[in-house]
Amino acid sequence: MVQYKMDGPARDQVMKLMQEKDRIESEIREQNLVLEENNVGMQDSLIDGDGYPRNDIDVYKVRHARHRIICLQNDHKNIMKQIERGLSEVHSQFVANGEGTSRDDHSHSSHYTNGFAGGTSHASAQSRPQTNSDESFAVIALVVVGSPADIAGLNENDELLEFGTINAANFTDVNQVNSLVQHSVGQPIQVRVRRGRHVLSLTVVPRIWTQPGLLGCRIEKKS
């Protein structure tokens, strides 16, 4: 994820929650492997036609895996809620410390960091004058507050110039973008957008969060 240029307990807590989320997701995958090895899902019967435990699977391991998956899924839902609250607090502190401005003010700033005015970070967004070679192919129609897209600094009405390997020359439709996002969970995607008179370079990381989708934004083909 893109990190804000700030320190403090709120950010530290969010990072710890992220680590715990990754641990939970890893264990869920491990428990699902137990079910796959036994060729059963969460709802398949564990008894045969005569009412006896099936002898073609390890019933004990399957029951244990199912129980763990249910518990872990509940833990995952809870921790995602905590992460959302933590990100909201970090964002509020970020703005309160004078390191960010309202989204409407971004288009008037000459330098951006991850979509916010001022500061630097490991994934900076640099502003430069627009050139005639910058051709957009899609538009950010909606950005949900607290989403990976929002954290990365994407704004509504940003015009996409590049999204990873996708640009105006090879873009076909929005499904092309969706496919790239689905295959890049947890991996940074370099994005270039035109915002007003400036071109910005941002980094967005698709991931599971508290709402549907991996980015939390709607991308529409430019008309």
pLDDT the model gives residue 95: 58
More confident residue, 187 or 133: 187
Using the CB atoms, write b or e for 171-184: b if 16+ within 10 Å. Answer: beeeebbeeebeeb
From 7-11, 26-30, 92-96, 145-149, the region with the lowest mean pLDDT = 92-96
| Domain spans, the chain | 9-96, 103-221
Tell me: pLDDT of 89 over 60. yes
Tell me: pLDDT of 153 over 90. no
pLDDT the model gives residue 191: 92
Tell me: pLDDT of 59 over 60. yes
Which residue reads 């005639």 in tokens?
Answer: 132
pLDDT the model gives residue 90: 67
CA 222, CA 199: separation in Å to the nearest integer?
17
Give the whole-number percent of the chain exceeding pLDDT 70.
77
Q: What is the pLDDT of residues 12-33, one digit of tens each?
A: 888 888 888 888 878 888 888 8
Output the CA torsion sign for 143, 145, 147, 148: positive
Q: Is 16 left (phi over 0), alpha (psi -120 to 50) or beta?
A: alpha
Instruction: With H, G, I as helix, E, B as strand and everything else as coil, classify residue 223.
Output: coil
CB under 8 A, 24+ apart: contacts of 17-26: 17/79, 17/82, 17/83, 17/86, 18/83, 20/79, 21/76, 21/79, 21/80, 21/83, 24/72, 24/75, 24/76, 24/79, 25/76, 25/208
**Is domain 103-221 given the CATH code 2.30.42.10 in the classification?**
yes
pTM for the predicted model, two decimal places: 0.45
